[in-house]
Every structure is written in structure tokens, then in C-alpha cells.
Structure 1
Amino acid sequence: MKTVKGDLVKKALRNEFDLIIHGCNCFCTMGAGIAKTIKQEFPEAYKADLATVKGDKSKLGSIRSAEVTVNGKKLKIVNAYTQYDWRGKGVKADYEAIRSAFRKVKETFSGLRIAYPAIGAGLAGGDWKTISKIIDEELEGEEHTLVVFEKE
């Protein structure tokens, strides 16, 4: 896992990556964190989320993607269903869902330049040490980058 600082969305808009992944809950909200920014900047990703069943627990571990054109190049945005809900206290990140989602990303999008924030370790309250190990295992052999948020 390569690590860089910056703004994932701005980097994606500069064509630094072919695919970005962010964690979603199963309720089609995209109302906080980086999901909110993605919803605003890439409404196609939100439309892909809305095409799923709101509140469906079986979405955990699955992915939905949208494709946009940025500066003449294709960018894929992956909604990874890595937590069921966003309400209440405690850890919302589902480690097995994270594993499953990243496995599906590799199966579907191998060979692309992949980037993501610290999925599951922000608002979802998960342990980044555990999550980063899962991501490294599932994306082994892929070019993938953690973008640690820093205002640009």
C-alpha cells in the first residue's frame, strides 16, 4: 500500500487514479464524510447507490460502480458497502464486508490505479491497522494508494 497525503477527490479529478473506492452504508445516504463529497462531485456514484435497495443488509460486502469522464479519461468510482448503518455508537465498520468488497474490486478492476481513503476507520470507527492489512491482502499485486486527507 502506497500512502500519500492530499484530497482524494481532487487527485481523481487530476487523473492521478483510474478508480477510487469509498465506504458506504446500506441506506443510500452518502450524507457525511468523503461520501458526501463524492455524491456532490460525482452524482453518477450516488445514482448507482440509489439503484440498490435501501436498508438491504445483503449489500454488505458488495460494490456498485459508476464511470465518469474526467479530462477525457475514464474514472471509475466504487461504492463499497462496508458498513450496514451509520447511526448509534460503536464500530460500524464490518471487516468481512471490507474484505469482500476489496476482493470484488480486484476481481473486477485488476490492473487499474486504485485509490481510497482510510475506509472504515473514520466515521465508521474501525481499526485502521486491521483494515489496512485486509486491503493489502485483497489487493496484493495491484497498484493501490491510501490517500490521507490533507487540504490542498
Structure 2
Amino acid sequence: MKTIEGDLIALTKSGTFDVMVHGCNCFCTMGAGIAKAIASQFPEAFQADLETVKGDRNKLGTYSSTLIINGDHKFHIVNAYSQYKYNGPQPRVSYEAVAEVFQRIASDFAGLRIGYPLIGAGLAGGDWHRIASSIEGALKGMDHSLVILPETKISKVSK
């Protein structure tokens, strides 16, 4: 897994990635973290989330997505349903959902450059080492990168 320090949204908009993946809960909120920033900058991504059934536990391990055309660059935003709730005790991430959704992403976006944040290890409180292992397994041989903000200390999320 490559690790890049920077802003995932800005890097994707500039053409670094063809697919931007972020974790979502199953309640169509996109109200915190990078999901909130994505919903604000790309209402189409939030609309794709809203078109799913609010509170449906069956969304875990699946995703909704939208294609964004930004000048001469096109990219997909993938709302990966990696946690059921957005509140309550941590960890809220479903490790099984992360593994399943990245298997789907590997199949559906083969050959594309994929970028993602610390899915499930931030607000959802998951163990990044365990999550990274699932992502690595699913995206083996693909061009994919973890993007962390400069102020993030990877050691804080690695357990």
C-alpha cells in the first residue's frame, strides 16, 4: 500500500486518482469527517447515498457511487458502507464490511487508480492495521494509495 501525505479530495480533483473511496454509515448522513467535505463539494455523491435505503443493515459491504466530470478528468466517488451507525460505542467499523466492499471495488474498478483515507480508523474507531490488511488483500496488484492529511500521525491509528 502506497501512502501519500495530502488532501484526498484535492488530489482526486487534480487527476491523481480515478476512484476516490471513503467510508459511510448506513443512515445517509455524510455529516462528519471526509464524508461531510465530499457531500459539500460533490452533492452528486451525497445524492447517490440518499438514493439508498436509510438504516438498511444490508448495505454493509456494498457501495453507492457517482461519476464526476471535472474538466478533462473523470473520477468516481465511492461511498463505501463500512459501518452501520455513526454514533455509539467504538469501534463502529465493520471489519467484514470493509473486506467485502473492497473486494467489490477491486472487481468493479479494475485497472483504475484508487485513493482512500483511513477508512474505519478515524471517527469509526477501528484498528488501522486490521483494516489495511483487508484493503491490501482485496486490492493486491492494483494501483491504490492511502492518503493521509499532513498532521495525521499514522502511528496513532496503527495498533
1:80 & 1:39 partners in 2: Cα distance?
A: 14
* Structure 1: runs of 5 or more not aligned: none
TM-score between both structures, scaled by the size of structure 2 = 0.93
TM-score between both structures, scaled by the size of structure 1 = 0.97
2:90 & 2:62 partners in 1: Cα distance?
A: 22
Partner of 1:50: 50
The secondary structure found in structure 1 opposite 2:34 is: helix
Contact 1:93 1:125 in 2 (8 A): yes
What is the CA distance between 1:71 and its match in structure 2? Answer: 2.3
* Range that drifts further, 67-76 or 115-124: 67-76
The secondary structure found in structure 1 opposite 2:38 is: helix
Partner of 1:119: 119
The secondary structure found in structure 2 opposite 1:88 is: coil
Partner of 2:155: none
Partner of 2:27: 27
Matched residue count: 151
Partner of 2:109: 109
2:133 & 2:60 partners in 1: Cα distance?
A: 19
What is the CA distance between 1:140 and its match in structure 2? Answer: 0.6
What is the CA distance between 1:118 and its match in structure 2? Answer: 0.6
What is the CA distance between 1:70 and its match in structure 2? Answer: 1.2
Q: Could you report, residue by residue, the CA deviation over 1:41-74 in whole angstroms, capped at 9, with x for unpaired residues? A: 1111101000000000000000111001112111
Contact 1:67 1:74 in 2 (8 A): yes
What is the CA distance between 1:89 and its match in structure 2? Answer: 2.1
Partner of 2:94: 94
1:83 & 1:97 partners in 2: Cα distance?
A: 7
Q: Could you report, residue by residue, the CA deviation over 1:100-152 in whole angstroms, capped at 9, with x for unpaired residues? A: 0000001100000000001000000000000001000000110000001127x
* Structure 2: runs of 5 or more not aligned: 152-159
| Aligned residue identity for 1:149 | L
Partner of 1:75: 75
2:131 & 2:38 partners in 1: Cα distance?
A: 21
- Runs ≥4 in structure 1, deviation > 2 angstroms? none
1:2 & 1:8 partners in 2: Cα distance?
A: 13
1:7 aligns with 2:7: yes
Partner of 1:37: 37
Q: What value does the CA root-mean-square deviation take over the aligned residues?
A: 0.8
Contact 1:19 1:113 in 2 (8 A): yes
2:11 & 2:50 partners in 1: Cα distance?
A: 25
1:51 & 1:134 partners in 2: Cα distance?
A: 27
Partner of 2:65: 65
Contact 1:80 1:101 in 2 (8 A): yes
The secondary structure found in structure 1 opposite 2:145 is: strand
